[in-house]
Structure 1
Amino acid sequence: MPDASVDATLDVLVASGFGGAGQKCMVISTVIFVGGLTSWEDKLVDRALALKVTAGMEPDADLGPVISKQAKERICRLIQTAVEGGAKLVLDGRSIVVPGYEHGNFMGPTILTDVTTDMECYKEEIFGPVLLCMQADSIEEAIKIINRNKCRNGASIFTKSGAAARKFQTEIEVGQVGINVPVSVPLPVSSFTSLKPSFAGNLNFDSKASIQFYTQIKTVSQQWKDLVSSDIASSHLPE
């Protein structure tokens, strides 16, 4: 949202969008900037450029390589199809070289803007350090974009407005909802509650659902009335 804390939100977008080289199921892969991207773009690029790409074992590593050569090829293909489809490549991490690992499967932070919902990069999970940037004129439009997506793992809103947060929380159709929280998976405190194609089965794998799986449920219905002592004394109660 336009009122989101700029520094805090940028830190979150960069850490979640590029951390783990983007190879996480709950990474922030797409950002919808309500009211426009202009005031955010340069700062976002600067934060991404400051990240250090290494083999991943160094103390100052921000992100390491992607899992395989095939994974890198797929990421590069999706980036290229996005550019050919009209997206703007404001930060290109495809040609990064890490000294000492010249033949490694490295991808630098990559940012695509002007992304639309009909692009393959949006419809397919890239699973790499690529941040897709979209724009919406209102929170209503942003919510519609998210609710039309086929996957329903999670979505977060960044705002200082309680009204906007409440509207998002109520109307969004995802399993994990974050409010000023980048990755809304508070494991193991609560269940991983994805929806639609992002979830299969009838129970979640942790928290209350997993406890219920191993529990026999007892239902107790109660109605309380005043009882005199003689009623209790004359009752035939089981010992």
Structure 2
Amino acid sequence: MEQLSHLINGEAVGSERTLPVTNPSTGAVARQVADADAATTRQAVAAAQAAFPAWRDTPPAKRAQVMYRFKQLLETNAERIVQLVSEEHGKTVEDAMGELKRGIENVEYACGVPELLKGEYSHNTGPGIDAWSNHQPLGVVAGITPFNFPAMVPLWMYPMAIACGNTFVLKPSEKDPAAAMAVAELLMEAGLPKGVMNVVHGGREAVETLLEAPEVKAISFVGSTPVAEAIYARGCANGKRVQALGGAKNHAVVLPDADLDNAANTLMGAAYGSAGERCMAISVAVCVGDSTANRLVESLKGKIDELKIGAGNTKGLDMGPLVTAEHRDKVLGYIEDGVAAGASLVADGRGLKVPGFEDGYFVGGCLFDHVTPQMRIYQEEIFGPVLCVVRVNSLDDAMQLINDHEYGNGTCLFTRDGEAARRFTDGIEVGMVGVNVPLPVPVAYHSFGGWKRSLFGDLHAYGPDAVRFYTRRKAVSQRWPSSYETTQAEFNFPS
């Protein structure tokens, strides 16, 4: 059986410990992946540390040339990467291709690093004194990425980190590591020097080693809120710069004047695409008025019955399986909890069996109506194909509901009313907002991040914030006195 190795200093490094990687469509083990211990992780950090001085001194334009070649290789090898994503994660090939394309957009943005790293200059700030500032890399930085976007989320991190002159250690999810590994190998093929990019696989031991390593100056993380909060606290306590993106409970508000057909169609993709395993998935539809709710629920129910669900690598599907048996069981537990709490299960996806894939981790689309804020299915992130409908009386009630929630990742409003849209976008306490756009994921030249307990740290992911996160500013003041000048001692603060 194939075994994925670590990538350290440009070489494949094996491990005595391995972890199984399962194909969620079949329930069978697809391959084994090396499980890094502390020594192996420190080896990767040491390789990155050794490579840093030369890479830091490489001109930004030459770093950008590597990214240009990397982008071309990603496009050439897209089909292979997508198949790996689908095989290990379970998402459809079309969805996996969309993920990869969004990742490539971040590589494109990193290609502009010579412009992005330009500093500021002021001539004659004082007698014969010039001042300027520039962006300098931090050193060794690390990324810890989740299972739900095995290709895209790593591409949020290391292209810009490396383009800015840092060296990188990636710890991808052990549940679906093959795509991340294949992409990293393409980066080496693009001409990146050995040691600049390293990949270690595994679980908690590898993460804890990265958090403790003094050479690691910054950590980027995407995952659940409890883990994000713990990584942020521990990383900061160790003097590291940390951005830790956590969980979400994303609401879509539907006003009575909305185009209900459009809202229902786009909500289907936002709620059930990738089997709901997205931090930007819409998991709550907040309907203003019972009439709005009744019409929306009726429309959604019919569409859920028509969902095409099957093995992820089969083309033309709407939804694949959940990533693991454990996660499937967790989602099923939430559904049972919602029924016990008194919510109306309008569409029940439990017990779904896909012919030929009876051992896969499938759950069909689920729709709850009459959900209240006190219910666990409303309060917590389910991360599965479950949409909850909450009924309110006004836009103000809907906004208060969203603002009171502990998460603030993404939200959207369906309406034809410009005044309502402006009030919503101004007053909602959420980091990413859409108007008639259910998945308001920023493009690569903006930055991605939520508010409240959806993000720990001051800077968002990718885009302009990535340049700020992966560099530090140095300010220089310089004076070259003329040969005929005599400098006198001054004891006042300079002005």
Structures share a fold, TM > 0.5? yes
Cα distance in 2 for partners of 1:88, 1:202 equals 40
Cα distance in 2 for partners of 1:105, 1:211 equals 39
Q: What count of residue pairs does the alignment treat as equivalent?
A: 219
Cα distance in 1 for partners of 2:339, 2:304 equals 19
Corresponding position of 2:283: 29
Corresponding position of 1:187: 443
The residue identity in structure 2 corresponding to 1:129 is P
Corresponding position of 2:83: none
Corresponding position of 1:114: 370
Corresponding position of 1:91: 347
The residue identity in structure 1 corresponding to 2:297 is E
Instruction: Give per-residue Cα distances to partners, 1:86-115, cap 9 Å, x unaligned.
Output: 100000001111000112110000000111
Cα distance in 2 for partners of 1:27, 1:217 equals 40
Corresponding position of 1:60: 316
In structure 1, the residue corresponding to 2:346 is in which secondary structure? Answer: strand
TM-score by length of 2: 0.43
Residues 449 and 461 in structure 2, CA contact (< 8 A), matched pair in contact too: no
Corresponding position of 1:14: 268
Cα distance in 2 for partners of 1:212, 1:101 equals 47
Higher strand content, 1 or 2: 2
In structure 2, the residue corresponding to 1:29 is in which secondary structure? Answer: strand
Cα distance in 1 for partners of 2:384, 2:368 equals 13
How far has the Cα of 1:63 moved from its partner? 0.4
Instruction: Give per-residue Cα distances to partners, 1:148-197, cap 9 Å, x unaligned.
Output: 10001011001000011011011100000111111111131311131121
Percent identical among aligned pairs is 37
Cα distance in 1 for partners of 2:418, 2:474 equals 38
Selected match of 1:152 from 408, 411, 429: 408
Identify which range, 202-211 or 15-24, moves more after superposition: 202-211
Cα distance in 2 for partners of 1:142, 1:107 equals 29
In structure 1, the residue corresponding to 2:408 is in which secondary structure? Answer: coil
Higher helix content, 1 or 2: 2
Corresponding position of 1:129: 385
In structure 2, the residue corresponding to 1:30 is in which secondary structure? Answer: strand
How far has the Cα of 1:204 moved from its partner? 1.6
Corresponding position of 1:235: none
In structure 2, the residue corresponding to 1:146 is in which secondary structure? Answer: helix
The 4+ residue runs of structure 1 with deviation greater than 4 A are none
Alignment RMSD:
1.5
How far has the Cα of 1:217 moved from its partner? 7.4
In structure 1, the residue corresponding to 2:286 is in which secondary structure? Answer: strand
Cα distance in 1 for partners of 2:397, 2:327 equals 33
> Are 2:402 and 1:139 aligned?
no
The residue identity in structure 1 corresponding to 2:285 is V
The residue identity in structure 2 corresponding to 1:85 is A
Q: 1:167 to 1:111 in 2, by over 3 A?
A: same
Which stretches in structure 1 are left out of the alignment for 5+ residues? 219-239
Residues 408 and 429 in structure 2, CA contact (< 8 A), matched pair in contact too: yes
> Are 2:271 and 1:4 aligned?
no
How far has the Cα of 1:122 moved from its partner? 1.1
TM-score by length of 1: 0.88
Which stretches in structure 2 are left out of the alignment for 5+ residues? 1-254, 476-495
Cα distance in 1 for partners of 2:418, 2:472 equals 38
Cα distance in 2 for partners of 1:181, 1:39 equals 20
